[in-house]
Each structure stands twice: as C-alpha cells, then as structure tokens.
Amino acid sequence: MMLLEAIILTVITASTPLLIAALGELVVEKSGVLNLGVEGMMIMGAACGIAAAIFTGSSAAGVLAAILAGMAMAALFGALTLGLAANQVAAGLALAIFGLGLSGMVGAGFVGAQRAGIGKIEVPLLSDIPLLGPVLFNQDPFVYASFALVFLVARFLNRTKAGLVLRACGENHAAAHALGYPVLRIRFLAVLFGGACAGLAGAYMSLVLTPFWSSGMTGGRGWIALAIVVFASWLPGRAAVGAYLFGGITILQLHAQGAGLRVPPQLMSALPYLITIVVLVLIMRLRRGGAAGPASLGVPFVPDR
Amino acid sequence: MRLVLETRSQTPPALALGAPLLAVALTLVSAVLIFAALGQDPWRALQVYFIAPVSDSWGLQEVAVKATPLVLISVGLSLCYRSNNWNIGAEGQFLVGAMAGGWLALATHGAPNGPWLMPAMLAAGAAGGALFALIPAVLRTRFGANEILTSLMLVYVAELLLDWLVRGPWRDPQGFNMPVTVSFEPEAIVPLLLEGGRLNVGTPIALLVVVLAAVLVGRTLKGVEIRLVGEAPRAARFAGFDTNRLTLTVFAISGGLAGLAGVLEAAGTVKMLQPGLSPGYGFTAIIVAFLGRLNPVGCLVAGVFLAITFIGGENAQIMLRMPLDATRVIQGLLLFYVLACDTLLLYRPRLVASTPA
Amino acid sequence: MTLTRRLLLGSAGALAGAALPGSQADAQSRLSVGVVLIGPVGDFGWSHMHDQGRRRMAEVLGDRVAATTVESVAPPDFDRVVTQLVRTGHRLIFTTSFSYFAPTQRIAPQHPGVFFENATGPTMLPNMAIYNARFYEGRYIQGVIAARKSRTKTIGYVATFPVPEVIHAINTVMRGAWSVDPAMKVRVVWVNAWSNPAREADAARALIDQGCDVLCSHTDGPAPLQLANERGIFGFGQASDMTRFAPRAHLTSSVNNWGDYYAERAQAVIAGTWQPKDTWGGLGSGMFRMAPWTNMTPEEVSEAERIRDAIASGRLHPFEGPIVRQDGTAVIPAGQRLDDNQIRAQNYFYQGIDASIPG
C-alpha cells in the first residue's frame, strides 16, 4: 500500500507539467491555431521562473515571471502568425529554437544557483484519508492548479458562450467572422493562454520538481504535451488521462528497473511512447472514426474587411 | 491605427525578390544591435556569421554537407504536408535509415565486398526509412490514429533502438565497450567528390531528388493528386483519388528520403553508427520545408540558408567566443523575419484608422 | 620536426588572418586552445566542469593562452568544428567526450601541427593524448560511507548510459560497500540521458520508494541529491561541490578539476615539450577531489579520510581480488588486481548489484 501510494504521488508530479502545458495548447488548438513552440515557451518559463525567484527571493514572483515569459513568447508567435498570417508550423518551430537559446542566456547567470523548492499544501482532515488523502489533498499548489485547470478548461469550452465562440473560430473561422466575432483577437487571447500555461509548466520544473537551472532542463516535455493534445482528441478530461498514462508508464518503468527486472533499459525507456501509441490505436478501434481536430487548425485567417 | 492585411490577387515580381531581401536587411539590423549589445564589433560579427561560411571552397563544401540532409528530408516532408499528411517523425526515419544501411556495412565488415555495397546501403537506408514511416501511415489509414502523435513518438523509439544496438549487438568488440560500431570499411563510405574536403556523393543525390520532386509535383498526375488532396480533399475524393493510398505513398517517399539522408550521414560524415547521429535534422527539416513553401526548389534554397546560419553560429562561437545560446537566438530571429516578410508576398499590409468592431 | 610544425602553424595562422582580419595578433602572440563540448556549458555537469577547467587554465596561464569553447557539438558536426578551430589558429584542442574518440583519431593525422587531447578515450596517436580521472576511486569511498549510513542495506544508483565509465563506477560503489558489510545491495535505474533533471528526480524517487536510503548518481545535475534531501535520506554530489543543494543529505561530492591538467598541457605546448601520453589521474593527481565531508560523524570522517589517503598513496586498490561477477563466475582470484585495461573494459556487474547491463 505504501509503495502504491508513493508511485501514484510520483506519477502525479511527473505528469503535472505535461498536463498543464497540454491544457494550454489544447485551448490554442481549439481556437484554430497550431503552436508547435510549446517547448520554447516552457523552457523560457523555467528559466525566467527560477531567475526571478532567486532575484526577488519570492516563489510567487518566480511563478508570475514564468507565466509572463510564456505569454511574451506566445505574443511573439501570435504577432507573427495572427498579425502577419505567417506559417504557424514554421513559426512554432522557430519559437522553440529561439526559446532554447534565450532561456540559456537568461539562465547563464544562475547555473549552479540553488534555492528551496515550493512546498506542499496540506488540506486539513481530507489529507488523512488513506491513499486518496495524500494523493489528492497533500500536494504542491501546481498540482491543485492542474486539477482545477482540467475542470475549468472543460467547463469553459463546453459550457460558456465564450468557449463556444472560441471553438467556432477553430472550426470555421470564416463563419465566425461573418457572425461578427473578432476571430484574430480571440485566437490571440487563446495563444496567450497557451503561453501562460506553458510558462507555468516550466516554472513547475525549475521551482518545484528540481529547483535549480540547467540548460535545456525541460528535456522535450513540450513536445510530449503536443502529442497529448492529439491523444486527447482535444478533450480536456482525456488530456489528463493521456498525461497520467504517459507519466505513469515513465514512473513504472523506472520502478521495474529499480526492482531489478532484467530488460534492456532502452526498451523500458521506450515503453511510454510505445504504450501511448497502442492505447491510441485501441481507443480509435473502440469507437471507429474518432474525433478529428478543429477544422481550421493551422490555417491562417485574414479577414476581408 | 491598426494593421490589416489585404490579400493580393497576384504577387508583383519585384516583391518576390524584395521580400527575402527585406528579411535579410531586417535580420542584419537586428543582428547588429544584438552583437553590439553583447559587446561585439557588429561588422566583424556579421562577417563571421554570414560571410565566412561561404567565403572559400572549404566553407562552401561544408555548407553543402550541412544542407544535404536538410534538403533531402524537407523535400519528402513537403510532399506530405502538401497533401495534409502530418509526418513529424522524420528524425526517427532518418535514424532507422542510418541503422538499415549501417547494418549492411557491419554485416559485410571484414568480408569480401565490392562496389555494389554502397548502392545497396543507400537502398537499404531508403527502404528502412520508408518502412518505418509506413507505421504511422498504416496506423492512420487502418485505425484513424493521428499521425502527428504516432510519428513523433516513434522518433524516441528509434533513438532508443539505435542506442540499444550500438551498446549491445552491434558494439565494436575492440571498442573498449564504447557505444560505437566499428568504423566502416572504405567500400562502405560514401565517396568524396573533391579531395581534401567533405563534399560527397550525397549532395548531387540531393540535387537530383530536388529535380525529380519538382517534376513529380509540377508535371505528373501524382502531383495533381497530392495538391488536390491537400487543398480540396472532398473534391479529390469525388475525382476518384484514393486518399488512403496517397497517405501511404507520401509517407513512404518522405520516410525513404529521410532514411536515405540518414545512411548518407552515417556512411558519409560520421563513418560509423553512434548515438547522437543527428543534430535534430529531422525536426529542422520541418522548418526548411515550410520556409521553402513546400516547394522542392524552395526547400533547396531554404536548406542552404539554414545550413549557413548553423555554420555561422559555430563560427561565432569559435571566432567571437559567443555562447551557443546567443547564436540560437539570432537564428530564431532570422526565421521570424523571413516568415514575417513572406507575408508580403501574399498580402498587402496597410495601416488603417481603428474602427470599433 | 619542431621546425615543420612552426611552419605549418605559421601558415595556418596566416590563413586565418587572411580570412579574418583581427585574429592574426591572437594567433601569433598567444596559444589558442579549443575545447569541444558534447553538451551545453549550462548543464551544470560534465560539460560545465570542462568549461570551468578552461577558465581555470586561463587564470593560471593568463595572457599566454586564449581559449575557445564550442558547445553541444554533435558527431556529424565534429569534423567541421575541429577543422575550423585549426584554421583559426588553435594549436591545442581538447575533445571532451568518448563520442569524439573515433572522430578525433580520424582527424588528428590530418593536422600534424596541432595537438589533440581526448577525454576518456582508450588509445593515443603521435599528436593525440588521452586523459581521464579515476573517478571510481571516489566511488569506492562513497560505497564505504554509504554502507556506514544505510539502515536498509540498499544503495540506489541513478545511472546514465551503460558505458564502461558508469559500469565500473557502480562496481566500485559495490566494492566499497562490501568492504564494510557484505550484505549491502545496489539497485540501479538507467535514465538514458546525461542531463534530464526531472527524470533523474523521478528515478531517485523510484529508488527511494523501493527502500534505498543512500543515493549515488552519475547524472550531471543535483536533482537526485535534492530529492534525497527532501525525503530525509543521504546522497552524494557529482562533478562539483553540491553541499548547498542538500544541506541535510549531502555526504560528500566528487569534484572534477580539469583546469590544472589543461594548464599543464597548454604550458607544454608553449614550451615545446608536449608529448602524447595517457593520463588517468586518481585522487593523488588532483584531477578530482572529495568535497568537504558533511552530515558524517567524526569516526566516519576519519575512516573516509583514511581510505582516501590509502587509495591516493596506492596502498589500497579498489579492484583487488577476489572479484566475482553477478552470475557467480570469478573475474580474478584473491591476490590479483585488475589492470587499467581490464578496469576500462568492464561490461559486467559484480555480485550484489540488482540490475542488468544491456547487450
């Protein structure tokens, strides 16, 4: 029981940055924009987060700086792809390169610097429930935020008018424009939200998971977040499933290694990727057809005045 | 005041030339500012970054060596993207091609071989890459599994497979347990074009591929099919084109070209198999494909351009002692400018007085 | 020989000067040294410490050297980077990864006037030396300390890739631990990365959850040590003094110091006395040292120091027989020692290590 609880706790912390970044990108893609630069925004969040936290001595300032850094990167992307209708795929990939470089410059002065991580917040009483208590009610603030985000994003997209309009922009931007909605403005806000989430995910890595700076420390998690959005068929609840599945396999294979399972570690490391593919195929088989992405995804929109 | 874009009915010829030049000019201005901010002499920095890579025969050869895999991969990817097939796993297909071709080199190591070996390796590399690319293609056509996810995930699988092979079954027995295979024998190394440089047969192959792809897209029924499926999938279905078969075809072509690039890199520049065989060529090629507007000749130009910026970045580290990160920032900015200026070709930007919506 | 070298170098310098106004003065008045790194300077691990070594060399030699670092050089780019370094007048080039061993061996003969040094490579050439540190000596001490500290008799090892360097490091931890208590076990998790802090932390969590209460790590950053601190167990730092990252958990760190070696070799080039040699520096050489002992009792400290001094002076050899493989077969009987090549070529684990090596 103790081991199970420990494994679940580790799975949640490992999956949280993936989940937060994926939820942000999900909203972006729902509005019809494909931003492949999640990794670049995330690493900027990580660098600016730890830099600001060390500089000011405040974790809150660090988190805020990370969110702003992610948003600034997203704004750059938005200006290019929405303001100038530039190609989204290429701009997103360029953003990833740019972010990797810029984060290295921001972080250069903080290599080897150290600060304490952000601690856990225990919910009184509830955290005493066996298994569920520690897993759900004794976590760091980011984990609570990720739980809330799943709920809020799902609610926003499905139950609010603003969410409906955002989805309309993603499905058919010409029609949304004809109905008088400011497609570009809505998309820009969605892109900013995606940047904020990616920045927050980066802050989680440099302020909570491993509180220090090291070049390229996001280690490709931005790309995995992109894959999770696709895995989720653009549904927030399923993004949580995808993130926990991926994180879960990652942790379980580490445990299997530690327990002395005689399997090549490369195969173990490949398992999260392979199992994600297999699960996706199974899901698609179960309900044939499956959900397609937003119809206008990646297509630039230029309003005729 | 706000900026609006107006669609151009056609691109003025002067702009087709002017837009890239404007991008370059903007980049130069920003680069000067950045270099100055970093305490560098801007003129010398510009010279090191952009002129030195192309200022002599050795430099030009190196640009060609660096551009070759980018061009090969991006030409294949452009066919995919034109027909709305999102293969983003070229990096994995590159590695599998290197492994497939490298396997032949290892299998014949120390055994009698001949001039047939190199063509066979190239064919094996292309076949390996194509087969590996067919996995996401089949998963999509058979099960509807999204190819963005599957092709990306398979990149990591390919990396780990290479890692396992060079540490396990393919490890050089005399290599002190280092994760490398034996160095390939001379017959298994891509022939050089010129003495004293690194330019090899791979570059003319890439040029040939560009020409063939241009003909395919512009002059054949397959090209019409690719474009139609991408631009008007429903019309394509009415026209009787089998979109599933096209998906398999373009994935196989792009995977094959990525695999070819992989075996050329393994047998040309690295001359063995080892982890870290690709500095992200498969991902960079995606940018190249879009910078080249999904057009084979455009991919060639964009590939050379990106190669120059990579080598310029190395030069800046060596001659100006600038950190790698600064060179990445400049490369990113450069791409932003090129993309932004590209807009001018399709749209006419105009400042208008803002009106409440 | 020297004359031809001078001649060659002169022309290389002139070439560089012609291509790049301004670099001529550099090339002639001081020795240009190139350092090629496999990772980013900011990895706070292997590449970072080599860059620190470059800084240290510049401090020691001052105006006599000018050093250049090229970061994150992938194998396909290696030849170009090295050629460009040579063309711009660099006469001493450190290639700081085993990934560069074969390429360095290939390219060194093409530039007979330039001196190459490959870190962790196994063989030399007339203008190519090899160097490494006997980090395993520090691992032995870690094993001893771990066995003293562990309650669960289980050490966790966050491993990178199964290369000889890592394998014999794990084996020496085991030997050190056994010298105290033959009941000790080592659990290993491979993360398949040199630097991926969050995954290192996850691996550390898995090991701790499985009952390990002292962590060793081979990855670049302080992530596993931080985790040890958070979970109230012990750990060791890697590459630099990591005391500050884990004030309660840190026992000692193995601190790399390449700088003095770099300075010595650069000085040899300046003096014209450079010779190819195989340097595998141990605790006695100053290539690495054990950082301050922390969170240890005075008895534990004195034992650790006694063992450190015994290894440094050669009285204690970490690979003294009998050595038994995981599968029970003997490697060497009592009374024998592994020689350097045998140490380097280890591709098997010792008894008591609960993990497998791929391949």
Listed residue (C94, C34, C74, C42) closest to C220, CA to CA: C42
Answer for the pair C323, C172: CB distance below 8 angstroms, yes or no. Answer: no
Q: Is the pLDDT of residue B291 over 90?
A: no
Q: Please state which of the ranges A191-200, C17-26, C268-277 shows the lowest mean pLDDT.
A: C17-26
Chain A residues whose beta carbon lies within 8 Å of the beta carbon of residue B161:
266, 270
The runs of H, that is alpha helices, within chain B are 13-37, 42-46, 57-82, 90-107, 117-143, 147-167, 202-219, 221-231, 233-238, 243-265, 281-291, 296-319, 324-346
What SS3 string covers chain A?
Answer: CHHHHHHHHHHHHHHHHHHHHHHHHHHHHHCCCCCCCHHHHHHHHHHHHHHHHHHHCCHHHHHHHHHHHHHHHHHHHHHHHHHCCCCHHHHHHHHHHHHHHHHHHHHHHHECCCCCCCCCEECCCHHHCCCHHHHHHEECHHHHHHHHHHHHHHHHHHHCHHHHHHHHHHHCHHHHHHCCCCHHHHHHHHHHHHHHHHHHHHHHHHHHHCCCECCCCCCCHHHHHHHHHHHCCCCHHHHHHHHHHHHHHHHHHHHHHHCCCCCCHHHHHHHHHHHHHHHHHHHHHHCCCCCCCCCCCCCCCCCCC
Sign of CA dihedral A165, A166, A167, A169: positive
Identify from C196, C212, C216 which residue to disrupt to test chain A contact, counting A C-beta atoms within 10 A and taking the largest count: C196
Structure confidence by residue, pLDDT tens digits, A265-289: 899 999 999 999 999 999 888 875 4
Structure confidence by residue, pLDDT tens digits, A83-113: 999 999 999 999 999 999 999 999 999 998 9
Which of A6-10, A257-261, C77-81, C347-351 is most confident? C77-81
Q: C62: how many CB neighbours lie within 10 A of its CB?
A: 8
Q: Please state which of the ranges A282-296, B153-167, C295-309 shows the lowest mean pLDDT.
A: A282-296
In a domain, C308, yes or no: no
Residue B35 touches partner A, C-beta closer than 8 Å: no
Residue C231 and residue C349 in one domain: yes
Residue C217 and residue C331 in one domain: yes
Structure confidence by residue, pLDDT tens digits, A139-173: 889 999 999 999 999 999 999 999 999 999 999 99
Q: How far is B243 from chain A (nearest CA, A)?
A: 15
Residue C234 and residue C127 in one domain: no
Which chain A residues have any C-beta within 8 angstroms of a chain C C-beta?
3, 6-7, 10, 14, 17, 104, 107-108, 111-112, 114, 117, 205, 209-217, 219, 221, 250-251, 254-255, 257-260, 262-266, 268-269
pTM for this predicted structure: 0.92
Q: A57: how many CB neighbours lie within 10 A of its CB?
A: 10
Q: Is the pLDDT of residue A59 over 70?
A: yes
**Cβ–Cβ of C193/A219 closer than 8 Å?**
yes
Helix (H, G, I), strand (E, B) or coil at B157: helix
Q: Please state which of the ranges A53-62, A261-270, B298-307, C133-142 shows the lowest mean pLDDT.
A: A261-270
Which one of A76, A94, A227 has the shortest CB-CB distance to B287?
A94
Total number of domains constituting chain C: 2
The residue type at B355: T
Listed residue (B146, B120, B137, B98) closest to B268, CA to CA: B98
Q: Residue A275's closest chain B neighbor by CA?
A: B153
Q: What is the mean pLDDT of residues B115-128?
A: 96
In a domain, B256, yes or no: yes
Q: Residue A162 is encoded by which pair of tokens?
A: 């603003």
Q: Residue C358's closest chain B neighbor by CA?
A: B168
C-alpha–C-alpha distance, residues C188 and A254, integer Å? 9
Question: Would you place residue B13 in the very low, low, confident or very high pLDDT band (cuts 50, 70, 90)?
Answer: confident
Residue C21 and residue C127 in one domain: yes
**Cβ–Cβ of C198/A262 closer than 8 Å?**
no
Total number of domains constituting chain B: 1
Res A238: pLDDT: 94
C-alpha–C-alpha distance, residues A52 and A69, integer Å? 11
Res C20: pLDDT: 41
Q: Residue C110's closest chain B neighbor by CA?
A: B196
**Cβ–Cβ of C42/A213 closer than 8 Å?**
yes
Greater pLDDT, B112 or B76: B76
In a domain, C191, yes or no: yes
Structure confidence by residue, pLDDT tens digits, B47-57: 888 888 898 89
Residue C46 and residue C12 in one domain: yes
Kindly give the pairing relationship between strand C214-217 and strand C154-159: parallel
C-alpha–C-alpha distance, residues A49 and A43, integer Å? 10
Residue C202 touches partner A, C-beta closer than 8 Å: yes
Res B72: pLDDT: 98
Residue B189 touches partner C, C-beta closer than 8 Å: no
In a domain, B6, yes or no: no
Which one of C42, C88, C101 has the shortest CB-CB distance to B318?
C88
Kindly give the pairing relationship between strand C115-119 and strand C250-256: unpaired
Q: Is the pLDDT of residue C15 over 60?
A: no
**Cβ–Cβ of A264/B336 closer than 8 Å?**
no
Answer for the pair A217, A206: CB distance below 8 angstroms, yes or no. Answer: yes
Residue A301 touches partner B, C-beta closer than 8 Å: no
Structure confidence by residue, pLDDT tens digits, C38-53: 999 998 889 999 999 9
DSSP C239: E
Q: Is the pLDDT of residue B254 over 80?
A: yes
Q: What is the mean pLDDT of residues B172-188?
A: 87
Sign of CA dihedral A267, A268, A272, A276: positive
**Cβ–Cβ of A255/C220 closer than 8 Å?**
no
Residue C90 and residue C225 in one domain: no
C-alpha–C-alpha distance, residues C55 and B95, integer Å? 36
Residue B8 touches partner A, C-beta closer than 8 Å: no
Residue C181 and residue C330 in one domain: yes
C-alpha–C-alpha distance, residues B70 and A46, integer Å? 30
Question: Would you place residue C209 in the very low, low, confident or very high pLDDT band (cuts 50, 70, 90)?
Answer: very high
DSSP C110: G
Structure confidence by residue, pLDDT tens digits, C70-120: 999 999 999 999 999 999 999 999 999 988 999 999 999 999 999 999 998
Q: Is the pLDDT of residue B357 over 80?
A: no
Which one of B44, B171, B318 has the shortest CB-CB distance to C68?
B318
In a domain, C288, yes or no: no
Res C9: pLDDT: 37
In a domain, B34, yes or no: no
Domain enclosing residue B88, as ranges: 69-293
Q: Cα B276 to chain center, whole Å?
A: 16
Q: What is the mean pLDDT of residues B260-272?
A: 96
Q: What is the mean pLDDT of residues B68-90?
A: 95
Residue C208 and residue C237 in one domain: yes
- Each domain of chain A, given as residue ranges in start order, spans 2-111+141-286
Q: CA A16, A18, A24: angle at the middle one, nearest 5?
A: 105
The whole-chain average pLDDT of chain A stands at: 92
**Cβ–Cβ of C83/B58 closer than 8 Å?**
yes
Residue C180 and residue C329 in one domain: yes
Residue B144: half-sphere exposure toward Cβ, Cα within 13 Å: 13
Q: What is the mean pLDDT of residues B273-299?
A: 93
Q: Is the pLDDT of residue B248 over 90?
A: yes
Res C358: pLDDT: 57
Question: Would you place residue B128 in the very low, low, confident or very high pLDDT band (cuts 50, 70, 90)?
Answer: very high
CATH number for the region A2-111+141-286 comes to 1.10.3470
**Cβ–Cβ of A85/B339 closer than 8 Å?**
no
Q: Is the pLDDT of residue C2 over 50?
A: no
Res A291: pLDDT: 63
Q: Cα A187 to chain center, whole Å?
A: 18
DSSP states of C320-354: BSPEEBTTS-EEE-TT-B--HHHHHT--SPBTTEE
In a domain, B254, yes or no: yes
Segment 290-329 of chain B within 8 Å of chain A by CB? 290-291, 323-329
Angle between helices C75-87 and B296-319 (to 10 degrees): 50
> Is the preceding omega at residue A300 within 30 degrees of 0, hence cis?
no
In a domain, B116, yes or no: yes
C-alpha–C-alpha distance, residues A80 and A188, integer Å? 11
Listed residue (C359, C122, C345, C192) closest to B170, CA to CA: C359
In a domain, B251, yes or no: yes
> CB under 8 Å, gap of 24 or more: what pairs does A146-152 form?
A146/A16, A146/A19, A146/A20, A146/A23, A149/A19, A149/A20, A149/A23, A149/A197, A150/A19, A150/A23, A150/A236, A150/A237, A150/A239, A150/A240
Domain enclosing residue C90, as ranges: 2-133+258-281
Answer for the pair A170, A297: CB distance below 8 angstroms, yes or no. Answer: yes
Res A288: pLDDT: 54
Residue A262 touches partner B, C-beta closer than 8 Å: no
Chain C residues whose beta carbon lies within 8 Å of the beta carbon of residue B56:
19
DSSP B84: T
Res C14: pLDDT: 37
Q: Please state which of the ranges A29-33, B291-295, C196-200 shows the lowest mean pLDDT.
A: B291-295
Residue C58 and residue C80 in one domain: yes
Res B39: pLDDT: 83
Q: B347: how many CB neighbours lie within 10 A of its CB?
A: 18
Res B335: pLDDT: 87
In a domain, B16, yes or no: no
**Cβ–Cβ of A111/C223 closer than 8 Å?**
no
In a domain, C180, yes or no: yes
Q: How far is A297 from chain C (nearest CA, A)?
A: 32
Res C342: pLDDT: 87
